[in-house]
């Protein structure tokens, strides 16, 4: 004889393991089984949905927090000169070239040096032309040896003039580079002092084609031109 536990076990096994005959009782049992399964499925679905909602809330507020931090950081970047944020400034290089008195003086020095070199080369060219005319006027009276010596002399003079021009060009280039280096050192030394109270991480020289966008809020050209000229006039 079967006890109550055995009956429950058999009923449960029948419900989940065999297809019952079509009857009101069988339909009741099948419906009961479906309700149990649906109830368990809904419970699992609700738990997963709750977890997903929690994750979405976390991501939402985390994203807002990061945005607020970025806004605060950018605000500090623009308004707090003494802050520890990464800050960049720039100056207009062409304005320095046109407005810095030292650069103007260097241009004048280079122009004078260029005129001096051109004068020296003109003298060499005149010597060459004079000698060429002399040989041309004597060409009919020259024998073969004299003509060859004259050609050799003119070729040697051409080589001398070419070497002299290269020497003067190199001298001018070295002078130009030295002068530009002097200007660069002046700007660097001034900016070191200037930046002690500004706290910029980098200060760039703006040139078209090198930087494609710049915020004029960080343009320090006016400060740089004024400070450099005041400093240069005192040491002149």
Q: Last residue of some domain: 79, 114, 131? A: 79
Domain identity same for 133 and 196: yes
Stretch (H or E) spanning 85: none
Question: Is the domain of 22 the same as that of 125?
Answer: no
208 pLDDT higher than 50 = yes
Burial of 133 (0-12, 13-18, 19+ CB in 10 A): exposed
Same domain, 60 and 132: no
| Residue-wise pLDDT tens digits, 42-73 | 555 555 655 655 655 555 555 555 544 444 34
Q: Are residues 45 and 126 in the same domain?
A: no
Give how many domains the chain has, as a whole number. 2
Better-scored residue on pLDDT, 72 or 209: 209
151 burial level (CB within 10 Å; 0-12, 13-18, 19+): exposed
Last residue of a domain, one of 79, 104, 134: 79
- 123-153: pLDDT as tens digits: 999 999 999 999 999 988 999 999 999 999 9
Task: Give the pLDDT of residue 211.
Answer: 81
Q: Give 75-129 pLDDT, tens digit per residue.
A: 344 444 445 578 899 999 899 999 999 999 999 999 999 999 999 999 999 999 9
Identify the pLDDT of residue 12: 40
- Is 110 found in the same domain as 64? no
Same domain, 21 and 63: yes
> Rounded distance, CA 42 to CA 45, Å?
5
Does pTM top 0.85 for this prediction?
no
* Bridge partner list, 48: none
- DSSP H or E segment with residue 138: helix 101-138
**Range(s) of the domain holding residue 97:** 88-235
- Average pLDDT of the chain to the nearest whole number: 76
Same domain? For 27 and 97 the reply is no
**pLDDT score, position 3:** 41
Of 79, 99, 119, which closes a domain? Answer: 79
> DSSP letter at 142?
-
> Are residues 100 and 212 part of one domain?
yes
């Amino acid at each position: 004889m079967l006890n109550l536990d055995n009956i429950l076990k058999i009923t449960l096994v029948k419900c989940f393991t065999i297809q019952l005959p079509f009857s009101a009782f069988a339909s009741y049992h099948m419906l009961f089984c479906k309700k149990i399964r649906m109830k368990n499925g809904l419970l699992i679905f609700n738990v997963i949905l709750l977890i997903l909602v929690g994750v979405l809330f976390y991501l939402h507020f985390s994203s807002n927090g990061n945005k607020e931090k970025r806004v605060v950081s950018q605000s500090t970047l623009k308004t707090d000169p003494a802050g520890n944020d990464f800050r960049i400034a720039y100056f207009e290089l062409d304005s320095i070239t046109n407005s810095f008195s030292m650069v103007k003086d260097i241009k004048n020095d280079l122009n004078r040096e260029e005129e001096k070199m051109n004068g020296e080369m003109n003298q060499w060219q005149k010597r060459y032309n004079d000698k060429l005319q002399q040989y041309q006027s004597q060409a009919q009276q020259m024998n073969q040896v004299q003509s060859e010596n004259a050609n050799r002399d003119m070729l040697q003079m051409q080589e001398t003039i070419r070497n002299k021009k290269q020497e003067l060009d190199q001298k001018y280039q070295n002078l130009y580079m030295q002068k530009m280096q002097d200007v660069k050192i002046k700007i660097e030394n001034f900016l070191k002092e200037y930046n002690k109270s500004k706290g910029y991480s980098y200060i760039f020289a703006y040139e078209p084609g090198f930087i494609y966008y710049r915020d004029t809020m960080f343009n320090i050209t006016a400060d740089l031109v004024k400070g450099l000229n005041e400093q240069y006039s005192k040491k002149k």
